[in-house]
Structure 1
Amino acid sequence: MHMKKIANWVTCVVLALAATPAVSVAQVRINDPGRVVERQAENRANRKIDQAVDKGLDSVEEGIGNLFKKKDKKAAETQSKPGEQPVNTKGNADNDPAGSSDDAATADTAAKPGKSTLKSYSKFDFIPGEKIVAIEDFSQDAVGDFPAKWNTNSSGEIVTIEGTEGKWLMLGPEGVFHPEFITALPENFTLEFNLATTTEFSFYSGYLRTVIAEVAAPAKEFTNWKGFDGGKKNGLEIALHPNNAGGTQGLAAFNVFGEDGSSLMKNEKSIPAFHTPDHNVVKVSVWRQKTRLRVYVDDYKVWDLPRAFDATRKYNFIAFSNQGYHEEANRYFVSNLRLAVGAPDTRSKLITEGKFSTTGIHFDVNSATIKPESYGTLKEIAVVLTENIGVRVKIIGHTDSDGDDAANLVLSQKRSEAVRAALSSDFGIDGSRMETDGKGEVEPAAPNTTAEGKAGNRRVEFVKM
């Protein structure tokens, strides 16, 4: 068999599989599929005949996804890194271990080397809102579908990314993506979500804009927030881009629009890059306190603006606006959106009321390892204990009702012990002032029938003794 015939045969296998409805693309890299197929076919044709045949047969058995894998040894060794992982459009069930359904929020930290520690977040002062009112992890949506509770004037679909937990919304070409279930944003709230990009993200592709606005008719007017188009008013945009022209830093831009659509405030600055092979997933945290706005990307505080919000506006609208991709391979992915309202008053509730409960301490999946973004909440508790040297507390862990009762009980106890250890080792609180306990799922704060209820039940309580 001649080399040319081998090349044609491999190409036909790829095209036949891609065109067959019964064969879904199990694992496709976050790249331009067309270009990757062409490159793979050429590479295979240049190999030894027996290798080409063997690989071709393997691809038939294992699915077209394997034809998209890089053969660079270094890339193969780092396949656990977010951004280098395949997108699984075939779908798989979410693995939510006992009592840790929200731990997928930053599962990338478990997958990438050089995992962040609490100390690396030492300047992170973000504290989530007191009450969780909306959770979007796309668990109710099928892979391949556009999410049922969202609207768009573009396209998109639910995917899974190997090496991360849960499901992601892959944003399509230029458009606006609006979670219709968010209808009120009070003067104190926090918004958190995970943002992922493809690794080789073109500088010429657009920003991912997070929109917060007052909109009279969201179902009709959400398209006003598309790219550079007009119609934007009574709101603000937080725009993030994974890299600048040199590829060493990311970019962030901020814009506030008034009643007439004019720009009232704007800013642009460099931020740490998040397009590199080992850092393609970031946690974005937005915090409103009346007129004040803070924005974080992972532990980096991008802005702290005292007059970003208009106190007279009744903000009721959130959207993601994608300006457009320079190359088809460039993609944005969002996941684990979490909206919480209210301003936590740790000092008053723990000292005056004798009890403080928080959902702001997060753990790795099915683990008692504390996630680094918990630093702000832990620091706030440590400050209260430092200022009130005579106060002793009991730290109580709680879970939702998913999973085995006994396992939940053990996990909740271990997590309370981990919190005690962190307060002692990282913040200098005397361990003798803290006792620990775990209640598992037996004392829910809300019904375990919704994602929001379950998230509220996965909490840590501090009770003054």
Structure 2
Amino acid sequence: MKFNLSFFKSALTLAAIFLLASNANAQFLKKLGKAAERAAERTVERRVEQETAEKTDQALDSIFEPGAKGSNKRQNPVPNTSPSPDSQDHQTDQDSKSKQTNGSPPSSSNDPESLSVYSKFDFVPGDAPLFVDDFSHEFVGDFPSRWNTNAGGDLVNIEGHENKWLKLLPGSRSFYIPDITNLPDEFTLEFDVVGSGIDKKTSSHSYLGITVVDNNTFEKGQNWGKVEYSFCQFIERGFVIENNISGKRGFYNETQADVRSTVKQKHRVSIAVNGQRFRLWLNESKYVDVPRLLPQGIKMQGIKFMLRGIDTDKESIYISNIKIAKGGVDLRRKLLADGKISTNGILFDSGSANIQPQSMGIIRQIYQVLQQDDSINLKIVGHTDGDGDDGANMALSEKRAEAVKDALVNIYNVSSKKLSVAGKGESEPVGDNNTPDGKALNRRVEFIKQ
């Protein structure tokens, strides 16, 4: 009855507003004629719709969020957008400064308890970086130089989070496009997301979308596949999955999943594209696995980010630590066939040997190889990029190899006698240490059959 009475009061209030507006403007409307009358009526309708939406939100909150009465003020943490003391200096690379440049969920250590949460995580990142951007060489307040947009947005610092972050602006035709074309058939995409002001009032239409499309312009394209995930908190929304083939919709579907607690925190989005297949993980959990989302035989040319349904006065969505890499294929078969694999998908905290939990997908595959063939012994070799002191990098690379060995032993119960480690530091580069993409290539771990 409480809800019905509240709704009834709301209806009376709206009726009063409409009557007052109508009486006050009656003479005015007669003079203005039909065109002006229609315009005034539209203004009244908009006010009525706004009042109705506010009352409906309150009613829904009383249903979906019991006990959520009291103050309606949002606790919206305002990010620190002012430059930090050293923001005018380019941040150095992951191996030379104690900052996380690849992003991770809150827990990031070699503690077996922490890593074991990801022990069944089956995402395997690509092993040939195509586009890597943590905005470390950009300036706060600028739009990043390796991106394009038709919506605006700038880089900010966020209190409590490392690196710089790109603030996305919502819009039905607003796109954020990294500078990459001619996507391979097999590739992976990873990035971190932080939201501020996300609470029980966040719209049920709030979604962040990722589209793989046949162009890298602001045109919608004829062939594409898209997945969006929701930031709504008062009901379980989940994901929207949609594709377009030769200019016509292939399918549209909404799948429910409770990701509310995940999206309120900093989270990692991991996407694997293998031909037509599209898979998506939030942190360690896989939520989307569609075998034929992308059209067959069509070359995909770009990736587009899009945000919708966010109240820009109260809510903000930021992304950072973006990595697009060729590959993401099954490393188990490659190791068995070639006797050796090299991957930069095993990530570490900056300047340390702490494994970032999302790296467990690769370590899990190494464990599966050892489990299948008990006769195999492996040598684990760590490599760093060229930033920092040579001796420090040599020691760091060996510690990282040792950390991978410890994860195999402590998480998957692999015998330590089957594993040996070595560190090569920066002595064997495979990429240009003067570029972010080249540095990402050089930060790698090798597994060699003995």
Which TM-score bucket, shorter chain as reference?
A: 0.7 to 0.9
**1:7 corresponding residue in structure 2:** none
Do structure 1's residue 172 and structure 2's residue 165 form an aligned pair?
A: no
Q: Whole-Å Cα distance in 2 between the matches of residues 301 and 294 of structure 1?
A: 7
Cα shift at 1:391 = 1.2
- SS in structure 1 at match of 2:431: coil
Do structure 1's residue 302 and structure 2's residue 291 form an aligned pair?
A: no
Q: Name the CA shift for 1:422/1:110 in 2 (closer, same or farther; >3 Å).
A: closer
Counterpart of 2:256 in structure 1: which amino acid? K
Cα offsets for 1:133-186 (capped at 9, x unmatched): 110212232110111222222110011112222111011242523334110222
Q: Name the CA shift for 1:116/1:288 in 2 (closer, same or farther; >3 Å).
A: farther
**1:264 corresponding residue in structure 2:** 251
Please give the residue correspondences for 1:345-384 in structure 2 after superposition, counting only pairs within 5 Å: 345-384=330-369
Do structure 1's residue 183 and structure 2's residue 168 form an aligned pair?
A: no
Q: Name the CA shift for 1:340/1:237 in 2 (closer, same or farther; >3 Å).
A: same
Q: Whole-Å Cα distance in 2 between the matches of residues 106 and 182 of structure 1?
A: 21
Q: Name the CA shift for 1:134/1:430 in 2 (closer, same or farther; >3 Å).
A: same
Q: Name the CA shift for 1:212/1:376 in 2 (closer, same or farther; >3 Å).
A: same
**8 Å CA contact retained: 1:244, 1:251:** no
Q: Name the CA shift for 1:275/1:242 in 2 (closer, same or farther; >3 Å).
A: farther
Cα shift at 1:95 = 5.6
Please give the residue correspondences for 1:129-278 in structure 2 after superposition, counting only pairs within 5 Å: 129-174=126-171, 175-201=173-199, 202-204=201-203, 206-215=206-215, 218-219=216-217, 222=218, 224=220, 233-246=222-235, 251-274=238-261
Cα shift at 1:250 = 6.0
Q: Name the CA shift for 1:103/1:460 in 2 (closer, same or farther; >3 Å).
A: farther
Do structure 1's residue 424 and structure 2's residue 413 form an aligned pair?
A: no
**8 Å CA contact retained: 2:272, 2:328:** no
Q: Whole-Å Cα distance in 2 between the matches of residues 127 and 99 of structure 1?
A: 26
Q: Name the CA shift for 1:132/1:97 in 2 (closer, same or farther; >3 Å).
A: closer
Cα shift at 1:189 = 0.7
Q: Whole-Å Cα distance in 1 between the matches of residues 288 and 305 of structure 2?
A: 19
Counterpart of 1:260 in structure 2: which amino acid? G
CA radius of gyration, larger in: 2
Cα shift at 1:328 = 1.3
Q: Name the CA shift for 1:333/1:140 in 2 (closer, same or farther; >3 Å).
A: same
Counterpart of 2:369 in structure 1: which amino acid? V
Counterpart of 1:172 in structure 2: which amino acid? L
Q: Name the CA shift for 1:375/1:86 in 2 (closer, same or farther; >3 Å).
A: same
**8 Å CA contact retained: 1:153, 1:223:** no
Cα shift at 1:101 = 8.7
Cα shift at 1:275 = 6.6
- SS in structure 2 at match of 1:139: coil
Matched length: 368
- SS in structure 1 at match of 2:154: strand
Please give the residue correspondences for 1:66-105 in structure 2 after superposition, counting only pairs within 5 Å: 86-91=79-84, 92=87, 93=89, 94=91, 96-98=93-95, 103-105=100-102
Cα shift at 1:447 = 1.8
Counterpart of 1:304 in structure 2: which amino acid? D
**2:305 corresponding residue in structure 1:** 320
Q: Whole-Å Cα distance in 2 between the matches of residues 121 and 430 of structure 1?
A: 20
Please give the residue correspondences for 1:106-117 in structure 2 after superposition, counting only pairs within 5 Å: 106-107=103-104, 109=106, 117=114
Q: Whole-Å Cα distance in 1 between the matches of residues 138 and 274 of structure 2?
A: 33
**8 Å CA contact retained: 2:104, 2:356:** no
Q: Name the CA shift for 1:241/1:87 in 2 (closer, same or farther; >3 Å).
A: farther
Please give the residue correspondences for 1:412-451 in structure 2 after superposition, counting only pairs within 5 Å: 412-451=397-436
Q: Name the CA shift for 1:415/1:209 in 2 (closer, same or farther; >3 Å).
A: same
Q: Whole-Å Cα distance in 2 between the matches of residues 163 and 223 of structure 1?
A: 37
Cα shift at 1:350 = 2.4
**8 Å CA contact retained: 1:99, 1:458:** no
Counterpart of 1:369 in structure 2: which amino acid? N
Cα offsets for 1:400-437 (capped at 9, x unmatched): 01111111111111111111111011112110011111
Please give the residue correspondences for 1:23-42 in structure 2 after superposition, counting only pairs within 5 Å: none
Q: Whole-Å Cα distance in 1 between the matches of residues 186 and 446 of structure 2?
A: 22
- SS in structure 2 at match of 1:87: coil
Cα offsets for 1:250-283 (capped at 9, x unmatched): 622111122234252423222322477xx52110
Q: Name the CA shift for 1:293/1:149 in 2 (closer, same or farther; >3 Å).
A: same
TM-score (norm 2): 0.75
Q: Name the CA shift for 1:192/1:107 in 2 (closer, same or farther; >3 Å).
A: closer
Q: Whole-Å Cα distance in 2 between the matches of residues 344 and 328 of structure 1?
A: 42
Q: State the percentage of identical aligned residues.
A: 34
Q: Whole-Å Cα distance in 2 between the matches of residues 153 and 89 of structure 1?
A: 24
Please give the residue correspondences for 1:42-53 in structure 2 after superposition, counting only pairs within 5 Å: none
Q: Whole-Å Cα distance in 2 between the matches of residues 403 and 306 of structure 1?
A: 44
Q: Name the CA shift for 1:393/1:425 in 2 (closer, same or farther; >3 Å).
A: same
Query: Which range is displaced more, 88-97 or 253-262?
Result: 88-97
Q: Name the CA shift for 1:328/1:162 in 2 (closer, same or farther; >3 Å).
A: same
Q: Which runs of 5+ in 1 are unaligned?
A: 1-74, 76-82, 225-231
**8 Å CA contact retained: 1:235, 1:256:** yes
Counterpart of 1:320 in structure 2: which amino acid? F
Do structure 1's residue 331 and structure 2's residue 316 form an aligned pair?
A: yes
Q: Which runs of 5+ in 2 are unaligned?
A: 1-74
Query: Which range is displaced more, 253-262 or 134-143?
Result: 253-262
Q: Name the CA shift for 1:369/1:272 in 2 (closer, same or farther; >3 Å).
A: same
Q: Name the CA shift for 1:84/1:371 in 2 (closer, same or farther; >3 Å).
A: farther
**8 Å CA contact retained: 1:256, 1:264:** yes
Q: Whole-Å Cα distance in 1 between the matches of residues 129 and 122 of structure 2?
A: 19
**8 Å CA contact retained: 1:109, 1:115:** no
